[in-house]
């Protein structure tokens, strides 16, 4: 009988509970906490999480619980997280920038769904608000996932226009019909919600490019101004880079911008078959 062992730091333990200074309208928020650089378990203030289960001294991830006064902050989950950072626990680490659903920095797993914290209303979540980093990526710290491989895959599809002729004295023109082909492609903000929701990417993330990178690849394949579509398709015609997509559709379901990466991947497969 096969025996499988989980990684040493895979067990999540209970952390500390914090309470907001004000209590007009409290919501319970449970947040994943982990710092790979720390030597032992416990919170960031040096308090131990030892609960007698034999894991004392190991650097284990934990779930900290916060009682947050949501009446004292904005309506989005990101506002709640900022409230925690600024008024309850300054050690909490996360990414954020635009707060308008444009930059993709605050992508995380909220209530079991990959989404943007800045566009997810806290009121739309029933019960406790559960916040984790994007799944199946190394954790830099707390809610910050390591996107190094994700960005390397994006760079590998050469996401820029490639034209054989010198640049004209004005912009490269397109018809309205040609421009319409880019709708649903150029809006991608590279938040990684789609790729990290894809089981094929979980299993083959080192070889399969994933929905985000493939959508970006198709954005230039479909662009009438680009003259390297043959080279692009030849590069993608690979059992792992492209064909690990099994049309599970998680990518399309979770995209916070309402895009359809699965359709873009299908269009690439069709274009490869016609070569």
Rounded Cα gap, residues 17 and 31, in angstroms: 10
* pLDDT, tens digit, 9 for 90 and up, residues 184-199: 999 999 999 999 999 9
Instruction: Tell me what percent of the residues of the chain surpass a pLDDT of 70.
Output: 90
Lowest mean pLDDT among 34-48, 123-137, 209-223, 228-242: 34-48
Question: What local confidence, expressed as pLDDT, does residue 48 receive?
Answer: 52
**In the predicted model, what is the mean pLDDT of residues 112-124?**
98
Q: Where are the domains of the chain?
A: 13-145, 148-274
* pLDDT, tens digit, 9 for 90 and up, residues 93-110: 999 999 999 999 999 999
The C-alpha angle 182, 217, 268, rounded to 5 degrees, equals 85
Please give the distance of CA 237 from its chain centroid, rounded to a whole number: 26
Exposure on the CB side of residue 60, measured as CA atoms within 13 A: 23
What is the gyration radius of the CA atoms in the chain, in angstroms?
Answer: 22
Q: How is residue 68 annotated by DSSP?
A: E
CB 132 within 8 A of CB 143: yes
Question: What local confidence, expressed as pLDDT, does residue 166 receive?
Answer: 84
Question: What local confidence, expressed as pLDDT, does residue 214 receive?
Answer: 98
Question: What local confidence, expressed as pLDDT, does residue 8 receive?
Answer: 66
127 has pLDDT over 90:
yes
Question: What local confidence, expressed as pLDDT, does residue 11 receive?
Answer: 85
Average predicted confidence (pLDDT) for the chain: 92
The pairing of strands 129-132 and 26-33 is: parallel
Maximum CA extent, the chain: 72
CB 193 within 8 A of CB 256: yes
CB 190 within 8 A of CB 101: no
Grouping H, G, I as helix, E, B as strand and the rest as coil, residue 250 is helix
* pLDDT, tens digit, 9 for 90 and up, residues 210-237: 999 999 999 999 999 999 999 999 999 9
Rounded Cα gap, residues 248 and 33, in angstroms: 30
**In the predicted model, what is the mean pLDDT of residues 111-123?**
98
**In the predicted model, what is the mean pLDDT of residues 23-48?**
78
Lowest mean pLDDT among 10-19, 146-155, 207-216: 10-19
Backbone angles phi, psi at 213, to 5 degrees: -65, -40
Of 205, 198, 210, 193, residue with least CA distance to 106: 193
CB 143 within 8 A of CB 131: yes
Fold that domain 148-274 belongs to in CATH: Fumarate Reductase Iron-sulfur Protein; Chain B, domain 2 (1.10.1060)
Q: Which CATH architecture group holds 13-145?
A: Roll (3.10)
Question: What local confidence, expressed as pLDDT, does residue 1 receive?
Answer: 61
């Amino acid at each position: 009988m096969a025996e499988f062992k989980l990684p040493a730091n895979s067990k999540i333990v209970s952390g500390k509970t914090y309470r907001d200074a004000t209590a007009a309208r409290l919501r319970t928020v449970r947040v994943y906490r982990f710092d790979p650089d720390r030597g032992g378990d416990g919170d960031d203030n040096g308090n131990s999480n030892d609960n007698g289960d034999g894991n004392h001294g190991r650097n284990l991830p934990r779930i900290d619980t916060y009682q947050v006064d949501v009446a004292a902050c904005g309506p989005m989950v990101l506002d709640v997280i900022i409230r925690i950072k600024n008024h309850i626990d300054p050690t909490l680490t996360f990414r954020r920038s635009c707060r308008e659903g444009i930059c993709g920095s605050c992508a995380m797993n909220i209530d079991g769904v990959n989404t943007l914290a800045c566009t997810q209303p806290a009121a739309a979540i029933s019960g406790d608000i559960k916040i984790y980093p994007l799944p199946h990526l190394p954790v830099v710290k707390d809610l910050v996932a390591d996107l190094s491989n994700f960005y390397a895959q994006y760079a590998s599809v050469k996401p820029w226009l490639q034209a054989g002729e010198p640049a004209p004295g004005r912009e490269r023109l397109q018809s309205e019909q040609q421009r319409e082909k880019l709708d649903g492609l150029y809006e991608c903000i590279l938040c990684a919600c789609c790729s990290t929701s894809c089981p094929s990417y979980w299993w083959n993330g080192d070889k399969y490019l994933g929905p985000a990178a493939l959508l970006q690849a198709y954005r230039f394949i479909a662009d009438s101004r680009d003259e390297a579509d043959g080279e692009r398709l030849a590069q993608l015609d690979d059992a792992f880079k492209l064909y690990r997509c099994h049309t599970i559709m998680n990518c399309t379901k979770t995209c916070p911008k309402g895009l359809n990466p699965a359709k873009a991947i299908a269009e690439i497969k069709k274009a490869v078959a016609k070569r």
